[in-house]
Amino acid sequence: MAMKKAEKELVKKEQVHLQTQAETSLPVALTQRFELYPENKRRPVNKTVFKNNYFQLTYNTRENTLEVSSIGNLVYSAIPYDTGRNYLQRAAIQYLLHPEEVREYLERHQTNVEQYLALSIFQLTNKRVDKKSPEVAQAYQAILQNPLLEIQVVGRLLQHDDTGPLSANLAGKFLFSENAKTGIAGYLSEYLKFVVQLTQSFPLTTDGRNIGVLENLSPEFALADKEQQLMFDSDITPALNTLPVEVKQPIEQSLMQNTQLMATNNQPLLRSEFGKELSDVRKNYVAHSVAPQELTQYFENVLPTENDNLVNVVSDLHIRDGKFPFSNKHYNILAGNVMDSRVTNQVIKGIYVIGNHELAAVLPENSDTTSEEWAKWQPFKNTKWFQLIRENPSDAWPLLPIGDHPFYRVVQKEIQARFPKMTVLNNSSVIHDGIRYIGLTIPVALVQRKKRLQRFILATLTKQLSEDREIPTVIVSNAPLFNELSRLSPRSQSYSKEYDCSEPAIRQLFEEFNIIGAVHGHHPIPAAFGRYKLTEFAGRERFVVCSIYSDMNTGFDLMSLI
């Protein structure tokens, strides 16, 4: 009985703490709204701030974050396993802010849209048509004539540029006749109404994924391009003039009167009305997806392959065709997993750290292990992990050696020969323009051997930091050091809560030395989730950057943070 009472007291204290944190983090105009929603009394963490019939704004008191989400009855898409919601919401915000630029983006991708339309027609009719056929031309014009479909197609193109070509359910995504059955247009129309009302009613801003508070912008929003954020003074009139009247009128009413939005005729797809049909579609769904890398040959890269970032961070290029995919004449940080095949680059400058994919990519293509080119690898040939790297690399990763192992020095020399103007950091450091970069060889996150891994991190950092406590220092590795300095979401299947920093001496190093941030790669974090975050570790705010390569993302400029 006493235990239950103590537990209740702890819960009550936690609730008070979270409530106090919310009150200090949010404007009064938002925290006062907690009392308006009875469900908040039983929700210590996710507090409702505002909602209408279809959407809600919630505040996570633990993570100090705001999020817009649809309420359960609203169906985003009748397409099974449709993963494009965040991309479409980003496209919707950009359409509100810059309709002309959105149209230009679509037109730059016209050849790829035509390819998608041809494939959509084939998936629907089993009839093959040419990209320049009358059927494709008619379908392309239908996109230009329907703003809500145009927003969707631009969102799909953002996803294409981010993750590679799409293949499943193309007709529902690109053909007007089929798209009308998916409910996505209704979802977007209600989403647009909600976010406009939200940003007009409260001191908030959004880019379609993140929500920021204008009175207390996080550094991430402060550094972001304000022109990409919808807020109370955004000029959305040009976009409104193109939207259907049933979408335009409620938004205009919200702008003029700042009142509750009226219902429209553009009805969304509701689970309460179509739940059984949607369930049957998903239950009977037969996937016909194709891996993006297999489709790449059918599409053109219409985005620039050169960037001018002064300190350009990018990782996980996974080059398979031997061609380096982008150019930057300044300083580059390649945070591992650059190669899945043999590749060289004689001109790119900067630093390079070793990832797990390099370990297989640098091995000789000649299968005769008695040949001269295999001589340098002979000391490792009898180890289980090395045999697996040759035969089935994915099984080798949990067994990789920790620390300053001779194998990594051989890999380092192989990479250095292929990238002569790069400095390959293998548990070593270099200073560039007053910033010290320490490159640690952590090819994978070894959760089961965390203690040994963190002892290695501690020893290497202690050596490389030396006695210089003032110089700004950035730590670069392929796999993240530990959860506290990782961009991997706890919601990811790759996330392990056990991979935390459990070595107090590492925290002490961070307290004593001017370590301003960390860079990693390894985990497939979509560019749509952002390239960086600012987080508190060991008593100070530090940045964490993970800039995964895609056609849309040839790198992140670290100068914006340092």
- Which tens digits make up the pLDDT trace of 166-215? 988 999 999 999 999 999 999 999 999 999 999 998 888 999 988 888 86
Question: pLDDT digit string (tens) for 450-463?
Answer: 999 999 999 999 99
Instruction: Give dist(CA 38, CA 48) in Å, integer.
Output: 9
Our separate counts of H helices and E strands in the chain read: 21, 18
Q: What is the pLDDT of residue 65?
A: 86
Distance CA 49, CA 31 (A): 7
**Cβ–Cβ < 8 Å for 84, 99:** no
Supply the DSSP string of 467-534, one letter for each residue.
Answer: T--SS-EEEEESS-SSGGG----TTSTT--TT-S---HHHHHHHHHS-EEEEE---S---GGG-SEEE
Question: At 288, is the pLDDT very low, low, confident or very high (cuts 50, 70, 90)?
Answer: low
Residue 483 CB neighbour total at 10 angstroms:
16
What's the pLDDT tens digit per position in 501-533?
A: 999 999 999 999 999 999 999 998 876 677 899
Closest CA to 86 of 529, 490, 552: 529
Q: Bigger pLDDT: 287 or 74?
A: 74
Say what the alpha-carbon torsion angle 474, 479, 481, 484 is, to the nearest 10 degrees: 100
pLDDT single digits (tens) 100-152: 999 999 999 999 999 999 999 999 999 999 999 999 999 999 999 999 999 99
Instruction: Tell me which of 1.20.120, 3.30.420, 3.40.1710, 3.60.21 is the CATH number of domain 307-549+554-558.
Output: 3.60.21
Angle (CA) 229-232-235 rounded to 5° is 75
Instruction: Assess whether pLDDT exceeds 80 at residue 4.
Output: no
Confidence of residue 467 (pLDDT cuts 50, 70, 90): confident
* pLDDT number for residue 313: 97
pLDDT for res 429: 97
Q: How confident is the model at residue 493 (pLDDT cuts 50, 70, 90)?
A: confident
**Mean pLDDT, rounded, of the chain:** 87
Q: What is the pLDDT of residues 105-115, one digit of tens each?
A: 999 999 999 99
Q: At 217, is the pLDDT very low, low, confident or very high (cuts 50, 70, 90)?
A: low
pTM across the whole model: 0.73
| Contact status, residue 499 vs residue 482, Cβ threshold 8 Å | yes
Cross-strand partners of 533 = 544
Give the type of residue at 489.
S
For residue range 386-440, list pLDDT tens digits in order. 999 999 999 999 999 998 899 999 999 999 999 999 999 999 999 999 999 999 9
Is residue 40 scored above 70 in pLDDT? Answer: yes
